[in-house]
Amino acid sequence: MKTGRLEAFSDGVLAIAITIMVLEMKAPDDTSFKALLMITPVFTSYILSFIYLGIYWNNHHHLMQVSQKVNGKILWANLHLLFWLSLIPFTTSWIGENEHYTETLPVFVYGFVLLMCACAYFLLEKALIQYHDDNSELHKLSKRRLKDYASFIIYVIALPLAYINTWLSILCYVLVAIFWLVPDRRLEKAPE
């Protein structure tokens, strides 16, 4: 099987997930500046989630670029990733409901879904590497894991932090996003 349709389907789900979040941003009730400010928390979490989904789309794009074929296992690993990514709009909407981001549970759940997305992506990568014995580019990926491991560790630290101070958790989530946004040229050359 070729990767074409898996890419098309993933593009579809990601495009919808990234766009329906904006549906949660209901138009303010009146036209005052105060009413506009009321949607700031939803808007802020929309930006973060947009960036996260953008990162996943980018990485997925790169991953498929170096892959040539898929099997049933990979299709399901991909659907598993899409499942967790599809929950991001839900958690974004919940986290954005609280004006000051001080409620523990939404921040915790948001981080948990991000962690599960990272795990699902890791599993997809593994399934692809396993299926392409002879693909040197994919195998190189399995050696460059600094960023992946760092993200995992930060998420795992961020989750309990939500019970101490939600802003510390959010800082961790932002940190991971920045981590992946910065072009990874130097990291790629860093020793493992």
Among 41, 79, 131, 158, binds a second copy (CB under 8 A): 79
Supply the minimum distance, in Å, between the C-beta of residue 58 and a second copy.
Answer: 5
Among 38, 109, 129, 168, binds a second copy (CB under 8 A): 109
CA angle at 61 for the pair 56 and 63, rounded to the nearest 5°: 95
Residues of span 139-158 touching a second copy by CB under 8 A: none
Nearest to residue 81, comparing CAs of 127, 38, 126, 116? Answer: 116
Q: Where are the alpha helices (DSSP H) in the chain?
A: 4-24, 33-38, 40-65, 72-86, 88-95, 104-131, 136-141, 146-161, 166-181, 185-189
Among 20, 119, 141, 168, binds a second copy (CB under 8 A): 20
Residues of span 44-63 touching a second copy by CB under 8 A: 47, 50, 54, 57-58, 61
What is the per-residue burial (b if ≥16 Cβ within 10 Å, else e) of 164-183? eebeebbebbeebbeebeee
Q: Based on the shown chain and the rule CB under 8 A, indicate whether residue 135 belongs to the binding site for a second copy.
A: no
Query: For residues 60 and 153, which CB has a smaller minimum distance to a second copy in the complex?
Result: 60
User: CA 160, CA 155: separation in Å to the nearest integer?
Assistant: 9
Contact positions toward a second copy, by CB under 8 A?
1, 5-9, 11-20, 22-28, 31-33, 36, 47, 50, 54, 57-58, 61, 64-65, 72-73, 75-76, 79, 82-83, 86-87, 89-90, 93-94, 97-98, 103-106, 109, 181, 183
